[in-house]
Amino acid sequence: MTIDVCGATNWDKDVDKRKAAYIFLEATKHYEQDNVGSYYSLLNRAYELDTTDTSVGFEKGMMDMILNQNDSVEFFKAHALSRRHFDSHPEDYYSSIKYGMITDKIGWRDESVRVWRVLDSIFTENVDITLRYADALSASIDSAEIAKAVATYNRIEVAEGKDAGITSRKIRAYSAIKDTANIVRELTLLLESSPNNSDFNVFAGEIYNYLGDDEKALEYLNKACTLDPSNGKAFFERANFYKEIGDSVAYDQAVFNVLKHDELDLEAKLQLLTGYIRALYSDSTQQTRIEELLMVLQEQHPHQYKIHELYGAYLATIKDFPRAAEQLSYALDIDPSSEQVWSQLIALSANTDNRKLKVDAIERALHYFPQSPMLIYQSGLIYSVIEEPEKAMECFYKALPLSDYNHELKSDILCSMADSYYKNAMSDSAFVYYGKAIEVNPDNMLALNNYAYYLSEKGIDLDRAERMSARTVVAEPENVNSLDTYAWIFFKKKNYDMARKYIETALKYSEKPSAELNHHAGDIYFMSGDPQKALEYWKEALKLEPENELLKKKVKHKTYFYE
């Protein structure tokens, strides 16, 4: 008896092909059910059984490209696998489109041109494919390729009619080779096709602005506004034009006119007003005008969340924290779903003297987000500020286990717990928690600084304190608190030259008077042999802290006292 080896082999191959087809079908079902892991496993198994099926190979290649974006060797293999199917079956519309789009995405222009050219020859009536082919050609800086791109765009215009979008693409292509004459020609043809089209005139204004012809840009923008007074985009672009050329008077008036424009959508108005605020917020003479514009928007759209949010952001920028909190509160009354905005409201309330506002902010926030570690932590900070240490610590302990996924937040919570312990004369516990905060996040500069400072205050482990403080100074060389701590550690170590060097740097960067900084400066100057300078700083400190008995003694006796 003999065995037909070739026949058996062919039979096995046919069986594997049928198995592969079945497994591929099952893989597709898993994909439709969003079971991506199962899909990929089945896909690989189908490909192992039949490497000749280009459809299976295509899908495997697409998945492998996603999974191997950082491995160029594997990525190229995956791309080649997908390309194989395209070359074999370019008429497979959906696969070919996917292949073309991913080739565009990775920036292989020559391959993109080839793919879209082939598809354009097959799907001759598909404008989207023709457009993609033209776009791929126009990505060149070669004049011959640009000419092909323009010819392809023209083919679309013959079928679809003149369109600002196609003209824009042609202009962009000509811009790549700095062909100003053809840019103007295309623009002229567009305007001639419909001279009273307000949108075309807006487009002309934008292009002439791009070309640096301010006179023509304004001419067409003005014409667009006249042709269609309801065209909000025309008024919007004209306002931006005035801003770009630095005509602040015209810009100011144009912004006001745009905001009163009923036809312009709210998003465009907010975009324009945001730019206006950014340009002028630092000019105190413009604050009344900015608020007037914000009030106009509020009157037009009384229940719009984003207007109150923008108003609040502006008020916070000019440090009007109570009114900023009020505006954010209005926004949250309309839509309380943003945890981030609740966090902003709590932060704003912390900068006010209004105790009720602070408590209301945290209570309302926790009503909507009772398990938010950030909001619970912020609540603890508020309770610390209003001198309710037990409630503060309760919040910190509650937030701690909820923050396991966020090491930076967890470290901040531990640091705040340490601060609270130290404030309540529990320095041993404080030092334990500072250590934990730094262990969780070695780059927590506040924990490093506070730990170092309080060690120096206690006069213990000064070498460790110096190392920690040095890290904060290197990381933030203009941070006054870090510099003050570093100087104070050197003072405690009786290295008065270094102490003086760093306290002088701290004083240089200090933007507002500080009793503690001046007090330290006085002590350091005294020990450095300059009692007159020391007395000046002690007096400055006493002005800021008139009830400080130690300072009173130093000023009265003009000498240093330990306590």
Does an H or E element contain 487, and which? helix 480-492
Contacts 24+ apart (CB under 8 A), 149-155: 149/173, 150/174, 150/182, 152/120, 155/130
Taking the C-alpha atoms of residue 533 and residue 169, their distance in angstroms, rounded to an integer, is 70
pTM confidence score = 0.62
Number of neighbours of residue 6 by Cβ within 10 angstroms = 8
User: Angle 373-385/339-350 helices, nearest 10 degrees?
Assistant: 10
Within the chain, how many helices (H) and strands (E) appear?
A: 31, 0
* Type and span of the H or E element at 114: helix 109-122
**Which residue shows structure tokens 């005035």?**
242
Long-range contacts of residues 101-109, Cβ cutoff 8 Å, at least 24 apart: 102/62, 102/65, 103/79, 104/132, 104/136, 106/79, 109/136, 109/139, 109/140
Spatial neighbors of 327 by CB under 8 A, at least 6 apart, are 308, 309, 311, 312, 315
3-state secondary structure of 371: coil
pLDDT per residue, tens digit, the chain (563 aa), is 444 544 545 556 778 888 888 888 988 888 888 888 888 899 899 889 889 999 999 999 999 888 888 888 898 899 999 999 999 999 999 999 999 999 998 888 899 999 999 999 999 999 999 999 999 998 888 888 889 999 999 998 888 888 888 888 888 888 888 889 988 998 898 888 889 999 889 989 998 998 899 999 999 999 998 898 878 788 888 888 988 888 878 887 887 777 777 666 777 778 777 877 776 677 777 788 788 888 888 888 888 888 899 888 888 888 899 999 999 999 999 999 999 999 999 999 999 999 999 999 999 999 999 999 999 999 999 999 999 999 999 999 999 999 999 999 999 999 999 999 999 999 999 999 999 999 999 999 999 999 999 999 999 999 999 999 999 999 999 999 999 999 999 999 999 999 999 999 999 999 888 999 999 999 999 999 999 999 999 999 999 999 999 999 999 999 988 77
| Rounded distance between C-alpha atoms, residue 310 and residue 301, angstroms | 13
Task: Using only the alpha carbons of the chain, give its radius of gyration.
Answer: 35
- The candidate with the shortest Cα–Cα distance to 297, out of 270, 331, 277, 330, is 270
CB 418 within 8 A of CB 391: no
